Structure 1
Amino acid sequence: MTRIVLVHGIGRQLAGPHSLLDDWYPSLADGLALNGCQVQRSEVAAAFYGDLFRPAGHRSIGLPDLDATDVTDPLERDVLLSWWHQAAQQEALVPGPEDRGRLRTPQLVQRALDALSHSSFFAGLGEHLLIFSARQVRRYFTEPAVRENVQKRVSATVSDGTQVIVAHSLGSVVAYEVLCAHPEWRDITLVTLGSPLAVRNLVFDRLRPAPADGRAQWPPSVRRWVNVADRGDVVALVKTLAPAFGDALTDRLVHNGAKAHDARPYLTAHETGEAIAAALGENGRAP
């Protein structure tokens, strides 16, 4: 029986549900252990959709060799620029948009990519991976078939026994929309990690159902919602979701070290384990 469903974010196109669970389950177990709780691996499932973004076979090795000239969509550009602005605010080594003397490339997107190469957060990611990640965000919001198929993967993983959905990064957007679309589900606890849900223009205004008067709908199937964010997480540009989604939402800040957006330190955090353990215990089923 699936008690906990894990939903991943961008950049997992080469993984799968079993390898993702191998990667995340130990961290989940550690966070729960800090709160005197445990859950069997067999009771946890990964809602996996990354392969939907995996490129078809081509002559080159690895991902398509993308560069700044391939960023022609305004949403892809704005995602990259938002990461740049936030990274520049968080890290002294990342030159900001105003520091033209430190960046010699005149093209705005290329300047953003060059700046992000100095970020510890994006360390090891080449330009093509940064662009490919931004493209996944754009495709989810602008390609209806992609959005529908991603949501189907998550919906199919949720069972009658599911008590908690833990969603990371773009996965929090998917989980939110799926929960709104399934009011028949009941008493779900939603735990979002490094979520961009409240980022205006890029994400918030593109949600379904659409927000009204600056406030988004509370998913009717959600009993409790805890949002966990690291101050240095450049993807979770807005750290508190309650102002946009309702006062019933609890926002918690954590410190993940150098890997501010990585799902694993989010899962090992006491605050994350506490939220999940509380949900398991509310129904009297925590071991």
Structure 2
Amino acid sequence: MARVVVVHGIGQEYVGRRSLRDPVAAALADGVELAATAGDITDPALTPDDIDVAFYGDAFRAVGRKGEPPAPRSVADLTDPYEQALLEALAAAAAPTADPAARATTKAPTPRSLQRALNVLLRSPFLPGPVAERFLLGVLRQVRRYFTDDTVRARAAAAVDARIGPDTTVLVGHSLGSVVAYESLCARPDRPVRTLVTLGSPLGMPALVFDRLRPAPAAGHGHWPAGLDRWTNLADRNDVVASVKELSPLFAPRPGTADARPGAVLRDIPVANGWKAHDALRHLTARETGAAIGEGLVAAR
């Protein structure tokens, strides 16, 4: 089994584990090599077989039978309260870098306020270039389904279970995949994973993500996965999904608590991904990401 397992983010329902694995493995190996060449880490000697992908995107793919709810075509189809709230929260995070005049929102979403929020995101670094409105609306639906549909949540957890083996010591989660990775580690403390790396993570987003985690946060603080030695969280300053850039105040192990492992640490590190702030491959090729992954691999020797 692989030494490193990567859990992908949203919008991957039309691919598969193998089609994701090759570009992900190449980008990850490049990031680790860059960090090793720069002297940040000792070269962990990665091979292609050391890297795998936990794939759960098929949980969101429509089965094509009659009676399936149609995918939203425009913001007018956005009627679910969670999806409306998530759209406005992402737009609020994007407004400082996209359209400051659009920060104002109403207490109750209206068609006008939702359209304004959508326009902010379509012009933000989160979605560079021409992006179909339907794609963004589909993203909102996938996040909502993960947090409200136990079948989807269970399939995502099972995908991680299937790829983690006795040699897996580093787990990497991008975007919604960081939530899947975190919850999977919390649910299975018997795993050999000692290093968690989260990229563009929404884990700190209040109400819509943080307060819906399993296990539920206690007294405003998230649980530390038992057995984890190190957690590195990386975020681009323009990434609206990672609206809370620093996770250490919310998840860092607290001395004296039951889930605090001696010496365990959570580090928040900024990364610059250019005009694709949330892009998974740009995260993986970053020297900072390579150092975090390589550190975990070397520590496990």
What is the TM-score when the length of structure 1 is the normalising length?
0.90
Tell me, yes or no, if the aligned pair for 1:186 and 1:223 is still in contact at 8 Å.
Answer: no
What do residues 153-188 of structure 1 show as CA deviations (whole Å, max 9, x unaligned)?
111111011010011000000000000000111352
> Is the contact between residue 168 and residue 192 of structure 2 (CA under 8 Å) also seen in structure 1?
no
Alignment of 1:169-188 (within 5 A): 169-188=175-194
The yes-or-no answer on 1:230 pairing with 2:230 is no
- Deviation track 1:183-204 (CA, whole Å, cap 9, x = no partner) reads 1113520000010101110100
Task: Find out whether 1:250 has 2:267 as its counterpart.
Answer: yes
Aligned to 1:5: 5
Letter in 2 for 1:84: A
Offset at residue 224 of structure 1 (A): 1.1
Structure 1 residue aligned with 2:73: 66
User: SS at the partner of 2:156?
Assistant: helix
Q: Following superposition, which runs of at least 4 residues in structure 1 exceed 3 angstroms of deviation?
A: 97-100
Q: Which whole-Å deviations, capped at 9, do the CAs of 1:197-247 have from their partners, x for residues lacking one?
A: 011101000000000111011000312111111111110000000000015
State the shift of 1:79 in Å: 1.2
- Name whichever of 33-42 and 174-183 sits farther off: 33-42
The CA RMSD over aligned residues, in Å, is 2.0
> Which residue does the alignment assign to 1:192?
198
- Trace 1:112-127 onto structure 2 (pairs within 5 A): 112-122=117-127, 123-127=129-133
Tell me the equivalent position of 2:221. Answer: 215
CA 1:91 to 1:97, structure 2 compared with 1: closer, same or farther past 3 Å? closer
Residue by residue over 1:105-162, the C-alpha shift from the partner in whole angstroms, topping out at 9 and shown as x without a partner, is: 9522222223322224313321211111011000000011111111111111110110
In structure 2, what is the Cα distance between the partners aligned to 1:217 and 1:64?
Answer: 35
Q: Could you tell me how far apart the structure 2 residues matched to 1:253 and 1:213 are?
A: 27
CA distance in 1, matches of 2:147, 2:288: 30
Percent identity between the aligned chains? Answer: 47
Give the match's secondary structure for 1:190. strand
Q: Is the 8 A contact 1:47 1:154 kept in 2?
A: yes
The answer to whether the 8 A contact 2:125-2:239 is kept is: no
Amino acid in structure 1 at the alignment position of 2:142:
Q
Letter of the 1:147 partner, please give it.
R
Deviation at 1:99, TM superposition (A): 9.4
Tell me which amino acid in the other structure corresponds to 2:136.
Answer: L
Structure 2 SS opposite 1:249 = strand
State how 1:9-88 maps to structure 2 within 5 Å: 9-36=9-36, 37=43, 38-57=45-64, 64=71, 66-88=73-95
- Residues 139, 65 of structure 1: alpha-carbon distance in 2 compared, 3 angstrom cutoff: closer
Structure 1 CA distance for aligned equivalents of residues 85 and 105 of structure 2: 19
Contact 2:167 2:192 in 1 (8 A): no
Paired residue for 2:258? Answer: none
Give the match for residue 166 of structure 2. 160
Q: Which moved more, 1:50-59 or 1:75-84?
A: 50-59
Contact kept in structure 2, 1:180 and 1:221, CA below 8 Å: no
Within the candidate set 277, 285, 288, 1:260 is matched to: 277
Give TM-score, length-normalised by structure 2.
0.86
Counterparts of 2:204 and 2:131 in 1: how far apart (Å)? 25
**Structure 2 match to 1:143:** 149
Please list every run of 5 or more consecutive structure 2 residues that lacks an aligned counterpart in the other structure: 37-42, 254-264
Give 5+ residue unaligned stretches, structure 1.
none
Equivalent pair of 2:97/2:124 in contact (CA under 8 Å) = no
Secondary structure in 1 matching 2:52: strand
Q: In structure 2, how many angstroms separate the alpha carbons of the residues matched to 1:236 and 1:121?
A: 10
Name the structure 1 match of 2:96: 89
User: 1:279 aligned to 2:285?
Assistant: no
CA change 1:239–1:2 in 2 (3 A) is same
Partners of 1:182 and 1:221 within 8 A in 2: no
